[in-house]
Structure 1
Amino acid sequence: MDSSVSSQRPKSRPKSSQAIFAKIFHWINLISLSLMISSGLQIYNSNPVFGGRAGWQFPSIFLLGGWLAGGRHWHFAAMWLFAINLLFYGTYIFITRRWKHRFLSSSDISAIQKSQNIKRKTYAWHKLAYTAIIPILLLPLLSGLGMYKPAQLHWIVDFFGSWQALRVVHFIFVPTVIIFAVIHSLLSLKVGGSRLIKSIFL
């Protein structure tokens, strides 16, 4: 074969790849969050935060559990899966020191404020979103524990100000995590294209 012809062939772009633990973490997160959101909406419909039982109801297609107790059982089961998954992945990124490449640094803040390099700025925003997910994921766990054991963990209820405020904060997690997922996906597309998104789950 003519070497000049082979040299003119376009080189294949390297495939994006993710560590197996990152794939497992994302899959378990996706499953557990879906279960928690759908069962949480079932709990909301059975005892709404806003407007009492006569308040606005979510369509049954989005619900899991069938009734209040069923929704609670699914919700707590998924919560343990979600919490253990976060614990194991947090330990993993700490031991492997992947946090140095994932979380926001002072140079990233500077890039967001001053950099003229679009790719560098996009990457910095991506790391900001990755860092912001920590309180976003931990807040529903904290508020959920306060709702589950208000007498034993009364300091959590006191931290949020009142029982009603605690429930509102816990419920607001649903639109917050959905908005974050959309932003996280869009930034991932800008940083690594569709190959990066596929590499996270495949």
Structure 2
Amino acid sequence: MTTLPKPQKIPKIAIAAKVFHWINIVSLLTMLTSGLQIYNANPVFGGRAGLHIPPIFALGGWLAGGRHWHFAAMWVFSLNLLWYGIFVLVTRRWRHRYVGLLDIKALQKSQNPKRLTFAWHRIAYTSIIPILLFAIFTGIGMYKPAQFPWIVDFFGSWQALRIVHFATVPLVIIFAFVHSYLARKVGGTEFTESMFW
């Protein structure tokens, strides 16, 4: 007589995590599309003769409109990160979210594919923190250069500041895909969807 394998139990996702994910998606999409509108006004690479993004992908209609949308979404995104960071700290979820010495050892020695996936996921989770901080830090420098000239000075020039800010965008997008892929690999489609519903 054969026994059927037990169905995999899907971890319960806190409502705070669901809200966090939804706010992140909406604010990130708003920042991405409005950022493309800002980029079109004076492309980072190539000046006014550089590559222009089709208007259908840009939010705001013109430079000032793009800036209004971008900075509004930036505040929503930043405050969302702040309150979720406090939530993770208070509930001690940080112990299971971020990379540790055991994860590094697992990558070197473990043959367990699930353990390796968890290790890579924690590495991704940890690596996105400095990327997001750079995105916010450079964004503030571009938003209020008169109030924070030392941010511009830190990067050496206005153009260097813009390039660093622009470079964080594909890194955040790559993280989103890697995060989704690794979550699906561990818990399947049902687990990934449980992050939102």
* Alignment match, 2:128: 133
Partner-residue secondary structure (3-state), 2:29: helix
Structure 1: gaps (5+ residues): 1-7
* Alignment match, 2:36: 41
The answer on whether the counterparts of 1:39 and 1:64 sit within 8 Å (CA) in structure 2 is yes
- Deviations along 1:115-152, one digit per CA (max 9) or x if unpaired, are 22221111100111111111122211100111112232
Q: CA deviation at 1:9?
A: 7.5
* Alignment match, 1:52: 47
The answer on whether the counterparts of 1:17 and 1:200 sit within 8 Å (CA) in structure 2 is no
Please show how residues 9-158 of structure 1 align to structure 2 within 5 Å. Answer: 12-158=7-153
State, as a whole percentage, how many aligned pairs show the same letter.
Answer: 64
Q: CA deviation at 1:55?
A: 1.2
More displaced stretch, 22-31 vs 155-164: 155-164
**Structure 2 residue 155 is matched with structure 1 residue 160:** yes
| TM-score, normalised relative to structure 1 | 0.91
Letter in 1 for 2:62: W
Q: CA deviation at 1:63?
A: 0.6
- Deviations along 1:64-96, one digit per CA (max 9) or x if unpaired, are 000000000000100010011011000000011
The answer on whether the counterparts of 1:46 and 1:68 sit within 8 Å (CA) in structure 2 is yes
| TM-score, normalised relative to structure 2 | 0.94
Structure 2: gaps (5+ residues): none
Q: Matched residue pairs, number? A: 197
Larger Rg: 1
CA RMSD of aligned residues (A): 1.8
Change in 2 beyond 3 A, CA 1:10/1:49: closer
